[in-house]
Amino acid sequence: MTPSISKSAIERRSEELDTIASVLPMERRDELAELLTDQDVETLRHLVHQGMGDNTLQALTSDLAYLEAWGLAAAGKSLPWPAPEALLLKFVAHHLWDPEKRAADPGHGMPAEVADNLRRQNFLKSTGPHAPATVRRRLANWSTLTKWRGLDGAFASPALKSAIRLAVRAVPRTRRRKSAKAVTGDVLAKLLATCATDSLRDVRDRAILMVAFASGGRRRSEIAGLRREQLTVEPPIEVQDGPPLPSLAIHLGRTKTTTGEQDNVVYLTGRPVEALNAWLVAAKIDKGSVFRAIGRWGTVSQRALDPQSVNAILKQRAGMAGLDSGEFSAHGLRSGYLTEAANRGVPLPEAMEQSRHRSIQQASSYYNNATRRTGRAARML
């Protein structure tokens, strides 16, 4: 425990963090109470009351905790607000560095004592330089938190921008996809084959996989946070060669790229609706969270699944299907939906209506990847 922080102050912060835990889940609450300052906690409470999205709040809290831990390890004191330009430049130097130069100069990059300090607290896992995107995100969140305190920072300074640009150029990195492989239709079929029984887990996981994929490749946070109140039964869809197909609307509310004021709706038709209804009936869910944890003895929790659990379920099912679970993640459902749409000739605008991608460039990249390999441009000889 930091000597200058009294036990009563830490207990008070723990209680204050508890008041926002339902909106902002924090697994390391007690550690955060000791690490964060009174001003940090008050800022988080303010952001919660402003109605900021859960994922954004979790990212801000995670990055704030890391920044405070790094500040204590690197400078021996809590972060100053606003942070001086020199401290921002030190942050970049500690996180973006050249491994080859580090081998010849141990003083290059993050000092060993700082890295060891952060590693003991489980704040640092990587042994190499950070990804540029991670550094930029933490600086952006640092800037956001500074502004929420009514202060200005040096985040737009030419020196900082130049330092980041030069550091990234000096150590080129290949951008890795969030999921090495897309969960296309054939892969999804293999995952669903592992959910063949009427057990609660199979019924739930089948619904999760089918709903996440068919609703446009919903993000894991959207699936984990889905509530019964967001579902609306729609009139059945008439088809020529069979009985009408059940239809359901999902009102997304606030998402990563939209606000809660926008009525973004996606639709489910046929098998995904049947799978979802089967889970709701089996779990006796008529309100609240749709997808929930299942206890050891088959007890359905009252609380929503954690977004990370959606990722874990997909990886587990991939392993059960004989696939390399390391090659798949929940994001593969999102990329897989658009890839499958391209393979089936679904027009990009129509697919984007369901996936709710705002960027044509981002969405079209999946189409390009799906068609380039088999297209005429790759068969000139």
Average pLDDT over residues 293-297: 88
Residue range of the domain that includes 36 = 7-170
Looking at the structure, tell me whether residues 118 and 193 fall in a common domain. no
Segment 10-30 mean pLDDT: 59
Closest CA to 151 of 142, 161, 138, 160: 142
The CA–CA distances, whole Å, from 274 to 201, 245, 269, 277, 279 equal 16, 9, 9, 5, 9
Q: Which residue has the higher pLDDT, 367 or 331?
A: 331
157 shares a domain with 19: yes
Residue 50 maps to a domain: yes
CA 252 from chain center: how many Å?
Answer: 16
- Domain match, 245 and 153 both: no
Does residue 175 form part of some domain?
A: no
Instruction: Please list the helix, strand and coil fractions of the chain in percent, rounded to the nearest 5, in that order.
Output: 55, 10, 40
Assess if residue 13 is contained within a domain.
yes
More confident residue, 121 or 263: 121
Residues 128 and 264 in one domain: no
pLDDT in tens, 45-83: 777 666 666 667 777 888 888 999 999 999 998 889 999
Residue 278 confidence (pLDDT)? 97
Would you say 143 and 153 are in contact if contact means Cβ atoms under 8 Å apart? yes
User: In this structure, is residue 304 part of a structural domain?
Assistant: yes
What is the Cα–Cα distance from 300 to 294, expressed in whole angstroms? 5
Q: Are residues 88 and 164 in the same domain?
A: yes
Q: Determine the distance from the C-alpha atom of residue 203 to the mean position of all C-alpha atoms in its chain, rounded to a whole number.
A: 25
Residue 180 lies in a domain: no
Do both 119 and 257 map to the same domain? no
208 and 69 part of one domain? no
Asked if residue 367 belongs to a domain, the reply is: yes
The answer to whether the predicted template modeling score (pTM) of the entire model surpasses 0.85 is: no
Q: What is the CATH number of the domain that holds 356?
A: 1.10.443.10
Q: Looking at the structure, do residues 165 and 212 belong to the same domain, yes or no?
A: no
Q: Are residues 165 and 243 in the same domain?
A: no
Q: How many domains does the chain have?
A: 2
Q: Residue range 150-170: average pLDDT?
A: 86
Looking at the domain assignment, is residue 178 inside a domain?
no
State the chain's maximal CA–CA distance in angstroms: 76
